[in-house]
Amino acid sequence: MPQRAELIAIIDYGMGNLRSVQKGFERVGADARIVTSADEIERASKVVLPGVGAFADAIEHMRTQGLIEPVRRAIDSGRPFLGICLGLQLLFDVSYEDGEHTGLGSVPGKVVRFDFSSIPAAAGLKVPHMGWNQLRWDEPCPILAGLDPGTYFYFVHSYYVQPIEADVRTARCDYGIEFVAMIWRDNLFATQFHPEKSQKHGLRVLENFSKL
């Protein structure tokens, strides 16, 4: 096993706002670097899977770059791992975004689109869900330390996750329906919101993660 440096690896698989995530970590004093290889992922003490865009394109980029197994190994290694937005959705078994696409399978469940057609009270809501919304949680979570339920975070997404296992559903949000906005299992954390775009509260999440 290689000696691991005390740094955060932000995985570049051709999708996402990598520099803004890196700058967020830098603002809280963390050493975060954008990486592209399995070896760099293996040598990092913490790993971040960011992402914006289409699920199918993302998983294909990861496959062609040989990053699927390195990401799975990083999660299984017990090192702190953070998925952000599309990086959350990629962790699941399957996504129904423009077809049916197999994900990493690290978290049992699926990714589905917001559908308000049978909810008259939500008929005026637009998809994607874009902007600030309140996060709610009931139990303490390490990367939410110092924050209060009801804190606002920034979201941009048309799809949301449906975990099979209830105990990974760490935080939730309302947009026409109640949906899972954050998961946590052991060393694995993932958010549907963008902490790097969520000002001081988002920076607190990144800082908490960097100190795990």
Helix (H) or strand (E) holding 43: helix 38-43
Task: Give the tens place of pLDDT for each residue, 187-201.
Answer: 999 999 999 999 999
> Above 90 in pLDDT, residue 123?
no
Going by C-beta distance under 8 Å and a sequence separation of 6 or more, which residues neighbour residue 119? Answer: 176, 177
Task: Give the tens place of pLDDT for each residue, 7-49.
Answer: 999 999 988 789 999 999 999 999 999 999 999 999 999 999 9
Residue 3: pLDDT band by 50, 70, 90 thresholds? low
- The pLDDT value recorded for residue 100 is 98
* Mean pLDDT computed over every residue of the chain: 96
Classify 5-210 by CATH class.
Answer: alpha beta
Q: Write down the pTM of the prediction.
A: 0.96
> Above 60 in pLDDT, residue 79?
yes
Active site residues: 85, 194, 196
Q: Write the DSSP symbol of residue 135.
A: -
Q: Quick one: average pLDDT of 144-162? A: 98
Strands (E), 50-202: 81-84, 92-95, 101-102, 107-113, 129-134, 152-157, 159-163, 169-175, 177-185, 188-191
CA dihedral 207, 135, 199, 24 (to 10 degrees): 40
> Above 90 in pLDDT, residue 2?
no
Q: What percent of the chain has pLDDT over 90?
A: 94
Q: What percent of the chain has pLDDT over 70?
A: 98
> Above 70 in pLDDT, residue 5?
no
